[in-house]
Amino acid sequence: MRRLRQNNLQPMFKETRIVKDELIMPLFFDYNATSPVPIKSMPGQFRYPLSYAEKVAKEMKEAGVHSVLLFGIPKTKDPDASGAFSEDGIVQEAIRRMKAAVPDLVVIADTCACEYTSHGHCGILCGTELDNDASLILIEKIAVSQAAAGADIIAPSCMLDGQVGAIREALDEAGFSNTPIMSYSTKFASSLYGPFREAADSGFQFGDRTTYQMSPANRREAIRESYLDEMEGADILMVKPAGFYLDILRDVRDASDLPVAAYQVSGEYSMIKAAGANGWINENKVIMESLLSIKRAGADLIITYFAKEVAEHLK
Ligand code: PBG
Ligand code: ZN
């Protein structure tokens, strides 16, 4: 086996490569921020004020990032997530400004309610439970408002049953039949989202998300979740988190011909950052190894907080 591993021959036989067009950079915009606020649980990441939208868009372009995924923290929260679908909402404004500054930057909108609800859950509550069908109406409104603001792709992340079908219909009716849906189709109720709670100010007042997100124990169900979204009209599927779920990523890749995205989530990012900062691992090498593994497992797209630095490195 060592014959083809000689240094000058190696590049010819590299089976998997990280390509910067496949990386998606998540970004946070905070209505109440006046300057970039460092996210303590995610060293190197910030919550940006709206006034930075143009600047950040240009920075991304400059770095070679092809696509971003936007999250918003509204001025105020309420039980109905009204900040999530208002025409001048934080994400809608951020989309408009980024697209105006860099028209060919692909701007993806995370479509969920949890950053906008006072209770922190991903939709409308009935008692202490998420009301699936009432939440579908909310999520349709959010999706249409984001598409109207100029989002290139709509990415529903709330794990409501029927969300892709409902959003597809709402987008088509509103004249956005050309706007693709990247569904968070297989999303686990993972503790790796911990650092994201500070980033998006989306901790919940009570309970957890285990009644709508998937159990990490379930492999067959993971495929069914993605299959259903494909049937409902998803254009891109997703497995989230990525690194602990490479088997699921491979299963979904093999079960569908749709493009599959993988989300390397906040906890995956912060663990690598923390170990790197302590000198316990070689941070840059572990970053590339983690992305390579995700790609090898079958991801066509990788959503990662490392997107900007890796794109710069790949230049
Ligand atoms: C909101 C949402 C979450 C993440 C992305 N969209 C949190 C959650 O579902 O609890 C997690 C992202 C990360 O941890 O990096 N629905
Ligand atoms: Zn949510």
Is the Cα dihedral 295, 280, 46, 63 positive or negative?
negative
Run of H or E including 134: helix 132-149
Cα of 193 vs centre of ligand 1, distance in Å, is 6
Residue 95 lies in a domain: yes
Q: Which two tokens stand for residue 135?
A: 């939440």
C-alpha separations of 187 from 14, 35, 112, 167 in Å: 31, 32, 13, 18
Q: Which of 165, 108, 167 lies closest to 139 in space, CA to CA?
A: 167
Assign residue 207 a region (left: φ > 0; alpha: ψ between -120 and 50; beta: otherwise). Answer: left
Cα of 122 vs centre of ligand 2, distance in Å, is 4
Ligand that comes closest to the CA of residue 204 = 1
C-alpha separations of 24 from 21, 39, 217, 304 in Å: 8, 19, 27, 6
pLDDT of residue 202: 83
Instruction: Report the atom number in ligand 1 closest to the C-alpha of 190.
Output: 10
Cα of 120 vs centre of ligand 2, distance in Å, is 8
Q: What is the pLDDT of residues 115-165, one digit of tens each?
A: 999 999 999 999 989 999 999 999 999 999 999 999 999 999 999 999 999
Q: Rounded to the nearest 5°, which phi and psi values hold at 122?
A: -85, 20
**Residue with CA nearest ligand 1 atom 10:** 193
CATH number of the domain bearing residue 113 = 3.20.20.70
Whole-angstrom distance between the N-terminal and C-terminal Cα of the chain?
A: 31
Is the Cα dihedral 20, 187, 243, 305 positive or negative?
positive
Q: What is the pLDDT of residues 259-310, one digit of tens each?
A: 999 999 999 999 999 999 999 999 999 999 999 999 999 999 999 999 999 9
Ligand that comes closest to the CA of residue 268 = 1
Residue 233 lies in a domain: yes
Instruction: Report the atom number in ligand 1 closest to the C-alpha of 115.
Output: 1
Active-site annotation, residues: 187, 240
Helix, coil or strand: residue 238: strand
| Enclosing domain of residue 50 | 17-313
Q: What is the pLDDT of residues 45-80, one digit of tens each?
A: 999 999 999 999 999 999 999 999 999 999 999 999
Ligand 1 shell residues, CB under 6 Å: 110, 112, 114, 122, 157-158, 193, 196, 209, 265-266
CB proximity list for 101: less than 8 A, separation 6 or greater = 53, 54, 57, 58
pLDDT of residue 205: 83
Residue 8 lies in a domain: no
Residue 120 lies in a domain: yes
**Residue with CA nearest ligand 1 atom 11:** 193
Q: What is the pLDDT of residues 165-211, one digit of tens each?
A: 999 999 999 999 999 999 999 999 999 999 999 888 888 888 888 98
Residue 199 lies in a domain: yes
- How many domains, in total, are found in the chain? 1
Q: Model's pTM, two decimal places?
A: 0.97
Q: What is the pLDDT of residues 10-43, one digit of tens each?
A: 999 999 999 999 999 999 999 999 999 999 999 9
Residue 101 CB coordination number (10 Å): 16
Residue 179 lies in a domain: yes
Is a pLDDT exceeding 90 seen at residue 315?
A: no
Ligand that comes closest to the CA of residue 28 = 1
- Pocket of ligand 1, candidates 73, 157, 182, 192: which has the most ligand atoms within 8 Å of its Cβ, to mutate? 157
Q: What is the pLDDT of residues 207-238, one digit of tens each?
A: 888 989 999 999 999 999 999 999 999 999 99
Is the Cα dihedral 91, 97, 101, 102 positive or negative?
positive
Residue with tokens 């699936």: 132
Residue 245 lies in a domain: yes
Residue 4 lies in a domain: no
C-alpha separations of 246 from 63, 182, 269 in Å: 28, 19, 16
